[in-house]
């Protein structure tokens, strides 16, 4: 297990039990080292089969370390983060987000919010120091609960973002699958006057990656949009920190478009977003743009660095998760900062924009006229193989040979992975996942078909190169 773009992740079988307690103890020691000596720590989880037991392990470890665990049950990550922030308390979310059901993870929040890279390094050091001597298991108990209270606090926040009745007349589908947002999202959209139809709820866990939506999911969404004549289909990943928005034609409204819509909706002065977000999002939209590496800790650091400039600060990632870096005025009310990924604000911002402008989601996409993006991933692609491939492609001649089917490499951005801009203006971005056996490709081109073709070709070449390495090793 290791820290990646957001939290520590690994196989659920390797995280359950002593390892989850060990990482939680490392977190507890980091809290004490940074001045948070004791008190409440809020714990929540997603709906994976492995999450309840891991959450119990984490709560037992916290109690053994002198903290008071509060069991918030299955709620969205942004709801947990908001509730803990209200109380000046730490928090811990058991979730593997979008990764497969056999994997899981833990996200950590200090009293000030999501932990940073320095915190991650300190926790990793504590884990290494304790690994041979950490006692297990501590005693389990019936912990104090905070499920209804945390949901009520978040519900109050998100039902103040738009005016009453703002979505009246809209027909919306909510793809519920196995996200913890399934019921709350329906409830919130109905509270604004929308006609909402829940679809696709499952009893088994379904991993939904909003940055690489499966063809199966898109086929379902297209069928639902056609059958029910929806204005949009909405959903989120497992822990509801990444939104999924699909337009009236059943086409994906990509995460960076969601982020742009949110930035415009809140009248952002500064936007912080990773290098993987659409290159067409620029100062031309009326805000300053700061680019970072992929991962919410980097976006949060960028937002913090931007605070002295003042104004409204918004961060977002290509997966659609939006981080509010400052308080902002919406619907005549102050909506407080929430510097962690959230799916509810961006969904409401997109729908509010549709309602106020009278334009459909597809029309908004055409209005902004950004380069067309596509992304996909190779699953079960070992981390070692990803690193070997990236090491080889660090050589400019090797990179040019790899990308020869797409033309001549004009320049390369090494902020996070290899982002090559071709002489044609097309972009091919190769990047290993931070903490999962996955290899990702992002592309920009003039059309969806071309961007999709680039991604498919690049990933095939990556797979073939990996297989060739295996044969060479044998």
- Give CA angle at 79 (276, 260), nearest 5°: 30
Write the DSSP symbol of residue 139. Answer: P
Q: Give the model's pLDDT for residue 411.
A: 95
Q: Give the model's pLDDT for residue 384.
A: 87
CA distance 260 to 85: 26
Q: Give the model's pLDDT for residue 469.
A: 65
Please identify, in words, the CATH class of the domain defined by 169-368. alpha beta
- The set of residues, in sequence order, having a beta carbon less than 8 Å from that of 241 and lying 6+ positions away, is 76, 77, 78, 97, 321, 340, 341, 342, 343
CA distance 357 to 378: 39
- The set of residues, in sequence order, having a beta carbon less than 8 Å from that of 187 and lying 6+ positions away, is 155
**Quick one: three-class SS letters along 217-231?**
HHHHHHHHHHHHCCC
Q: Count CB-CB contacts under 10 A for residue 308.
A: 6
CA distance 351 to 249: 15
pLDDT tens, position by position, for the chain (474 residues)?
A: 788 777 899 999 999 999 999 999 999 999 999 999 889 999 999 999 999 999 999 999 999 999 999 999 999 999 999 999 999 999 999 999 988 899 999 999 999 899 999 999 999 999 999 988 999 988 888 999 999 999 999 999 999 999 999 999 999 999 999 999 999 999 999 999 999 999 999 999 999 999 889 999 999 999 999 999 999 999 999 999 999 999 999 999 999 999 999 999 999 999 999 999 999 999 999 999 999 999 889 999 999 999 999 999 999 998 999 999 999 999 999 999 999 999 999 999 999 999 999 999 999 998 998 998 898 989 889 888 998 999 999 999 999 999 999 999 999 999 999 999 999 999 999 999 866 788 999 999 999 899 999 999 999 999 998 776 665 543
Residues paired with residue 246 on neighbouring β-strands, in sequence order: 233, 252
CA distance 386 to 390: 6
Question: Which residues of the chain form CATH 3.40.120.10?
Answer: 2-148, 169-368
Question: Which residues of the chain form CATH 3.30.310.50?
Answer: 372-473
Q: Give the model's pLDDT for residue 474.
A: 36
Distance of CA 367 to the CA centre of its chain: 26
Q: Give the model's pLDDT for residue 437.
A: 84
**Alpha-carbon distance values, 271 to 137, 319, 431 (Å):** 45, 15, 23
97 is catalytic: yes
On the 0-12 / 13-18 / 19+ scale of CB atoms within 10 A, 57 is buried
**Alpha-carbon distance values, 339 to 41, 213, 416, 462 (Å):** 18, 25, 21, 35
CA distance 415 to 226: 41
Q: What are phi and psi of 388, to 5 degrees?
A: -60, -45
3-state secondary structure of 435: coil
CATH annotation of 372-473: 3.30.310.50
Q: Give the model's pLDDT for residue 400.
A: 96
Cβ contact 169:192 at 8 Å:
no
Q: Which of 130, 127, 82 is nearest to 109 (CA)?
A: 82
Q: From the candidates 6, 20, 97, 433, which is the catalytic residue?
A: 97
Q: Which of 257, 219, 249 is nearest to 232 (CA)?
A: 249
Handedness of CA 286, 292, 297, 303 (dihedral sign): negative
Cβ contact 392:404 at 8 Å:
no
Q: Give the model's pLDDT for residue 143.
A: 94
From the candidate CATH numbers 3.30.2270.10, 3.40.309.10, 3.30.160.40, 3.40.120.10, the one assigned to the domain spanning 2-148? 3.40.120.10
């Amino acid at each position: 297990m290791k820290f990646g773009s957001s939290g520590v992740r690994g196989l659920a079988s390797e995280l359950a039990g002593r390892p989850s307690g060990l990482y939680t103890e490392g977190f507890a020691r980091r809290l004490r080292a940074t001045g948070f000596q004791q008190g409440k720590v809020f714990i929540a989880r997603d709906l994976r089969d492995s999450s309840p037991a891991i959450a119990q392990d984490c709560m037992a470890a916290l109690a053994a370390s002198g903290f008071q665990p509060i069991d918030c049950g299955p709620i969205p990550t942004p709801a947990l983060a908001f509730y803990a922030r209200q109380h000046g308390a730490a928090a811990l979310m058991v979730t593997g987000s979008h990764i497969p059901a056999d994997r899981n993870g833990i996200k950590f929040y200090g009293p000030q919010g999501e932990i940073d890279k320095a915190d991650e390094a300190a926790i990793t050091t504590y884990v290494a120091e304790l690994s041979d001597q950490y006692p297990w298991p501590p005693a389990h108990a019936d912990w104090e609960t905070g499920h209804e209270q945390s949901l009520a606090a978040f519900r109050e926040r998100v039902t103040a973002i738009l005016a009453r009745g703002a979505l009246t007349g809209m027909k919306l589908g909510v793809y519920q699958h196995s996200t913890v947002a399934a019921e709350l999202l329906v409830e919130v959209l109905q509270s604004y006057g929308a006609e909402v139809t829940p679809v696709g709820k499952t009893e088994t866990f379904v991993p939904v990656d909003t940055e690489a939506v499966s063809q199966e999911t898109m086929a379902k969404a297209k069928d639902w949009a056609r059958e029910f004549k929806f204005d949009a289909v909405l959903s989120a990943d497992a822990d509801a920190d990444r939104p999924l928005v699909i337009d009236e034609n059943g086409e994906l409204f990509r995460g960076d478009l969601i982020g742009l819509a949110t930035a415009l909706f809140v009248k952002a002065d500064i936007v912080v977003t990773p290098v993987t977000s659409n290159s067409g999002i620029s100062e031309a939209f009326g805000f300053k743009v700061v680019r970072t590496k992929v991962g919410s800790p980097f976006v949060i650091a960028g937002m913090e660095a931007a605070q002295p400039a003042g104004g409204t600060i918004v961060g977002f990632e290509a997966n659609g998760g939006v981080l509010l870096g400052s308080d902002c005025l919406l619907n005549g009310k102050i909506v407080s900062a929430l510097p962690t990924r959230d799916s509810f604000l961006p969904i409401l911002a997109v729908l509010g924009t549709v309602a106020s402008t009278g334009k459909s989601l597809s029309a908004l996409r055409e209005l902004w006229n950004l380069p067309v993006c596509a992304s996909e991933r190779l699953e079960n692609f070992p981390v070692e193989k990803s690193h070997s491939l990236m090491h080889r492609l660090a050589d400019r001649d090797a990179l040019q040979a790899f990308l020869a089917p797409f033309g001549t490499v004009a320049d390369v951005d090494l902020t996070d992975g290899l982002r090559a801009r071709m002489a044609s203006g097309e972009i091919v971005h190769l990047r290993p996942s931070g903490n999962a056996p996955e290899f990702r490709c992002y592309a920009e081109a003039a059309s969806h078909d071309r961007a999709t073709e680039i991604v498919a070709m690049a990933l095939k070449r990556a797979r073939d190169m990996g297989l060739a390495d295996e044969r060479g090793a044998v």
